[in-house]
Structure 1
Amino acid sequence: MTPPRLALVPGEPAGVGPELCVRLLQQPRDYDLIAYADPRSLRAAADALALPLTLLPPDRPSRAPGEVAVVEIPNPVLPAFGTPEPANAAAVIQALRDAAQACLDGRLDGIVTGPVHKAAINQGGIAYTGTTELLAEQAGCEVVMMLANAVVRVALATTHLPLRQVADAIRPEPLARTLRILDAALRRDFGLTRPAIAVLGLNPHAGEAGHLGREEIEVIEPLLERLRGEGLNLIGPLPADTAFLPAKLRGYDAVLAMYHDQGLPVLKYSGFEHAVNLTLGLPYPRVAVDHGTALDLAGRGLADPSSLIAAATACARIARTRRQTGATP
């Protein structure tokens, strides 16, 4: 089997993304990387780190340390470290879209992405809520965000919503789609034959029999019972304050949190450096770092590449699994 061919997209050129890519490229790897980036940003990062970097044409991928094939996506402005330029917004988005299109066309097997700067993209005149949403729109499919490390996998029923809007967003059909996508991805991408999914309640104590809210009784519990009839192995709804106890986590393959900050603080506390962000439901694997652009660290050689290394490793593993099984979303 030929090695997986993965797109590597650094993200915000003024942040730590380019230098994390340079550090990743120094590591031994059993997959090919093709960077979708401005070569100047990669070279500037390599110079700042005093690390070797050889840029090759896109049709000559190399796994040698310090070498990478590049599809050039020029930025109008070469930014200073730590200072995003809104003028580069279109190039940042183009790199993501072009890499994704290569996967949709079958030329590449997956995407590994660095952090982007949402404010700079929006200031550049592009309405942008997140890469997860952008890739889903481009592929024309429903997706689920899941973050994972060696301790726990946490998927999200809602993502970047104000807290006031979360309760209204917990509705039967969107929640059913999320659970079906999560179950299918755990089977397809992680090789689990009957994944156990812990589903958190929305309210404290999972509503405490209706005394602290009725979403569990009126929405979540009836839905879980219906999906169990389809063969999904669902546990809950569970109180979020005890669901993550180590003894309980050993009984789950993943946890579905109702909103962003219900589940992700626990995951990040349990292993932030090695956590990755997966977009489930796409026709190809996409794995990203689980951190932001860290503008204050950019160019200083202090950024930890562990999350990007873990993301590339995970993306290659999922790409191999999909190839072996011929699996599709």
Structure 2
Amino acid sequence: MEHKMDPMDKTAILPPLKRPISGGTNDGARPRRYEYWRTGYCDHRPPGGGFWVAQAGEYHCKPAYVSSYPEHHKQTQFFYHLAGEATFSGREPARKVRVGDLLIIPPDHIYRYRAPQGMKYQWFALGGSWPQLLGKKAASITPLDYDPEIVRCLVEMREILILQQSGYTLRAIGIFYQLLARRDEIADTPVEAEPVYPAAVHDAIIYLQQNYAAPFSATETAAATGVSPSHLRTLFAKWLGEPPRRYHLRCRIDKARQLLTERPRSISGVAFEVGFSQAGHFSRIFKQIAGIPPSHYRK
């Protein structure tokens, strides 16, 4: 995510970086307002699409950070707040932004999103027209609390744009729809609502989320769903695009991300708490799934 720079800041006169961009704490060309940043881009819309995911990333912002109009003012922006005290103001009265809040800012909307002590958030922007499925064209803040599934969608969207493999523009839009579905599920859907997945997949997801710290067992997971391990793998491949073992790892890493934002603690302590016996193995898996090592994520 790029912002206007101070005229005296020498990084402002550097030549533009080649896209897609990914950056981190050791990237000397990163914007000086971030402790860490990692971003992917898409400069063209899919054929026939009215909107597309133009940019997505994660940002760990330094104190006195401000994002405001006219940054990305021609795009629809989404901020998912991960950590730090912040306020949002604009045409509406100023209000506090809390962990798990989802901000949606339409094009040409005058706003100010600031954090005097720094903050962390996931962010993406849509190019093209305002999506009609979002309803009235207005800024909104939806309290969702911290949700691992929302975080998973945002990380996957970012990595899709960074890797830019064949069909990535459509896959990124698919993740956008998944995110909105999850938002609506959290905000509006009654607990008694019909599960989206087949019963076996739904039961396995709940079982794996509840038992993230336990060693993965294909047999025990399948037994909790009433189907065979091979049939459960087939269902996961169809509905989630990954095997149960991989989903179990995602549950562990999602919980680790949450723990790292709550209070200071050691990497080895977090690794042990989510079921890893070796901190090195935990760090490798964390980076594979989250895109950054845990030592960077907690800064």
TM-score of the two chains, using structure 2 as the length reference: 0.29
Higher RCO (CA < 8 A, seq sep 6+): 1
TM-score of the two chains, using structure 1 as the length reference: 0.28
